[in-house]
Structure 1
Amino acid sequence: MIDTRTWGRQLLNLGYSLYVGVPCSYLKSLINYAINECEYIGAANEGDAVAIASGASLGSRKAIVLMQNSGLANALSPLVSLNYPFRIPVLGFISLRGEPGYPDEPQHELMGQITTQMLSLLKIRWEILSDDLEQAKRQLIEADREIERGGSFFFVVRKGTFADEPLKKQEVSTGRNAAKKRKEAPDQLPSRYDALTVIASLADSSTVQLATTGKTGRELYEIEDAPNRLYMVGSMGCIGSLGLGLAVSAPEFDVVTIDGDGSLLMRMGSLATIGYCHPSNLLHLVLDNNSHDSTGGQRTVSHQTDFVEIAAACKYETALYVHNLDELKSAILEWKRTKGLTFIHMRIAKGSKSPLGRPNIKPHEVNQRLRSFIERRRLAGKTENSP
């Protein structure tokens, strides 16, 4: 067995202080160590965990993803359509439930047979983590080199690899919803393009804007391409979690995530995680046209979903419904003045700008440009604050 605390210190020495994951009994000791000694974010599901860790990576913070191998299927979407095209590396620890030759529950049988094959198909480098500490250290050094090169690396963890690490008493974060405003007037129903124009105009040198999959990112790009923006491709539903990871790793920036109704409905559990972490520098906007606009305009169920009430119940400090562009502008300006985790819901018209192009910049170039923007602003901030 590996002494878990010694292993944790090895990770910490390499800069890994943030853990994001979903529990597994094979990984419980490492998770307990993370909770006891580092920072741990418990995600609603494995895909969200990957997105949170990816957001942290954008903020230049090394993060670790922990998951049971059954959850690898849930993480497929961000791994193939976020991490791969954007070249965002994550270090993962994935358990090997259902390992061939070892009795386990029936639901793990098939995944146990194909876990390593799936990682290979995902073009993720992986190794079975040795239970010999010295050998494991050598594996970790190589894994960290892969991360530094921009590639992801997963350790596959067998049962009994980590020595027992008791969980200390956990501190419970208690957020609260201080302000809630529901729909109380007719909707203006502006176009998405007009709403995005307002949002884009309010960004300053300390603002990062993350736009969700589909027409949202494409329209934001057409309004004005800028180095402080990321246009999501694929990984639908992950923009809120990506924003959370960036917000906790770059607290000096205002992080604005621009979501859609179909996207939010797909991974609505992320609201609970965001509300629990309650980063004061995160603004979560939802532009709701009650449709999957980029796939033909099929209706979503957002017409009967009270997003503001849900966000408030998840302890967003402020949850607002805005009815028009003037209210949208006022709400964003108020957030920039007072901060606090804020959720804004606005209904918009169906349809999009026509013709509508696609970004000419590649996802991995967007990633590198955004990282450079964050690094430059940090250096400028240090210079401004130096005596």
Structure 2
Amino acid sequence: MQTDIFGRELKKLGFDFYTGVPCSFLKHLINYAINECDYIGAANEGDAVAIAAGASLGGKKAVVLMQNSGLSNAVSPLVSLIYPFRIPVLGFISWRGQPGFPDEPQHELMGRITTKMLDSMHVKWAILSSEWMEAKRQLAIAAKYIEHDVPFFFVVRNGTFEPETLRKHDSRRSLNLVHAIELGDSQFPSRHEALQTINRCKDDRTVQLATTGKTGRQLYEIEDACNNLYMVGSMGCVGSLGLGIALSKPEFDIWVIDGDGALLMRMGSQATIGYYNPGNLLHILLDNNAHDSTGGQKTVSHNVNFVNIARSCGYAKSIFVHNLDQLNDCLKEWKRTKGLTFLHLKISTGKEVSLGRPAKKPHEVINRLKQFLNGRPEGEGT
């Protein structure tokens, strides 16, 4: 089937934001997306799902592209972000190792279980036809699912798309302009104190995305607001989710509040964030050198220079923050100057005797945030 005709039909249906990881079976569709649409190259398939989810929250009809071997990498955000939050994304997964067709040995098992995995994750799917009229009908069905906040994935066989030449495109380079390393002693405030400081500095154009675990739960206790999102799973994906929102909603300030255990889990996301360099994204790391939500087991964050990593990934500003006063000053300065910024604050481990959980269901939090981002009246499009 002609790739450009297929791509134009997707555009007609509103799908013009793509993200993913390359696969030889999908290369022609990926080439079309790079040539004709907004395409974000992700470090891994799980990050791609989270980026697409963020773009969807920002009002885009998002498409994620991946090899089926990467489906295993995307399981966490598919089952603990897409499913509970009811975020619709359209997916295309190559069918490497399709039973009955010779392929490399590493694809054999995944080829047998690809569609079973989609079923297990409650993802609607279909094998994409290589006949144009049937594929067009399938796209219309998929679009209906997306309109009702239900994700839909196509399984793509080898040879489905005709060649599409990748046009030459220049690689950008993001430069670090401000780099402030750790100097002297840190205050080690509590997470609650840090979140209070952050929350006081937000305004009516700020979106706060709190990573999974105690960070989201404490932000909820400090203030439950329509411009907050409390991650309940998909650990490590909050930065990629923030990237998707920041790119699709440049008029808003997107504050990603991360944790050391979560960031370590998907550090490749920083390279992607740094490359695409949204000036409206502020990435704040609250680092207590522990997995606090699961009993305080140590992370390896004490051995990692996050500020230097953010600098090398192309964040415009990468700053070590020593105390709450400096955090407050940095937040106020960022609101004046903007630019992709990484702030690293070391905090103490938690000592909460009792910490509740958000009373609102994840999809209720998401619908409220979508209304905030897209200016829809209460109840519309939910």
TM-score range, shorter chain: over 0.9
Secondary structure of 1:94's counterpart equals strand
Distance 1:317 1:192 in 2: 25
Are 1:192 and 1:352, in contact at CA under 8 Å, matched by a contact in 2?
Answer: no
Distance 2:129 2:52 in 1: 24
Are 1:215 and 1:352, in contact at CA under 8 Å, matched by a contact in 2?
Answer: no
Distance 2:139 2:93 in 1: 14
**1:102-181 superposed matches below 5 A:** 102-181=101-180
The CA deviation string for residues 290-342 of structure 1, in whole angstroms up to 9 with x for no partner, is 00000000000000100000000000000000000000011111111101000
Q: Quick one: which amino acid aligns to residue 135 of structure 1?
A: E
- Report how far residue 377 of structure 1 moved: 8.2
Distance 2:191 2:135 in 1: 51
Who is 1:338 aligned against?
337
- Report how far residue 351 of structure 1 moved: 1.1
Secondary structure of 1:365's counterpart equals helix
**1:1-387 superposed matches below 5 A:** 2-376=1-375
Secondary structure of 1:10's counterpart equals helix
TM-score (norm: length of structure 2): 0.98
Distance 1:162 1:144 in 2: 20
- Report how far residue 87 of structure 1 moved: 0.3
Distance 2:169 2:101 in 1: 33
Are 1:20 and 1:52, in contact at CA under 8 Å, matched by a contact in 2?
Answer: yes
The CA deviation string for residues 243-301 of structure 1, in whole angstroms up to 9 with x for no partner, is 00000000000000000000000000000000000000000000000000000000000
Who is 1:382 aligned against?
none
- Report how far residue 149 of structure 1 moved: 0.6
Of 269-278 and 169-178, the range deviating more from structure 2: 169-178
Distance 2:48 2:147 in 1: 20
CA 1:377–1:309: 2 relative to 1, 3 Å: farther
Distance 1:218 1:280 in 2: 27
Are 1:193 and 1:352, in contact at CA under 8 Å, matched by a contact in 2?
Answer: no
The CA deviation string for residues 146-181 of structure 1, in whole angstroms up to 9 with x for no partner, is 001111000000000000001110221111001100
The CA deviation string for residues 86-143 of structure 1, in whole angstroms up to 9 with x for no partner, is 0011100000000001000000000000101110111111000000011100000000
Q: Quick one: which amino acid aligns to residue 221 of structure 1?
A: Y
Distance 1:5 1:250 in 2: 27
Distance 1:354 1:7 in 2: 56
Secondary structure of 1:74's counterpart equals coil
- Report how far residue 375 of structure 1 moved: 2.1
Distance 2:254 2:69 in 1: 32
Distance 2:201 2:10 in 1: 39
- Report how far residue 376 of structure 1 moved: 2.4
The CA deviation string for residues 60-103 of structure 1, in whole angstroms up to 9 with x for no partner, is 11110000000000000000000000001110000000000100
TM-score (norm: length of structure 1): 0.96
Q: Quick one: which amino acid aligns to residue 330 of structure 2?
A: A
Distance 1:353 1:216 in 2: 12
Q: Quick one: which amino acid aligns to residue 184 of structure 1?
A: L
The CA deviation string for residues 165-216 of structure 1, in whole angstroms up to 9 with x for no partner, is 0111022111100110000020000000000000011111100000000000
Contiguous gaps of at least 5 residues in structure 1: 379-387
Distance 1:69 1:376 in 2: 36
Secondary structure of 1:271's counterpart equals helix
Contiguous gaps of at least 5 residues in structure 2: 378-382
Q: Quick one: which amino acid aligns to residue 360 of structure 1?
A: A
Distance 2:296 2:204 in 1: 35
Distance 1:354 1:317 in 2: 39
Secondary structure of 2:166's counterpart equals coil
Q: Quick one: which amino acid aligns to residue 361 of structure 1?
A: K
Distance 1:149 1:376 in 2: 19
Distance 2:337 2:353 in 1: 37
Secondary structure of 2:167's counterpart equals coil
Secondary structure of 2:73's counterpart equals helix
Who is 2:380 aligned against?
none
- Report how far residue 352 of structure 1 moved: 4.3
Q: Quick one: which amino acid aligns to residue 326 of structure 1?
A: D
Distance 2:186 2:376 in 1: 38
Q: Please tell me the root mean square deviation across aligned C-alpha atoms, in Å.
A: 0.9
Secondary structure of 2:375's counterpart equals helix
Q: Quick one: which amino acid aligns to residue 17 of structure 1?
A: D
- Report how far residue 48 of structure 1 moved: 0.1
The number of residues matched between the two structures is 377
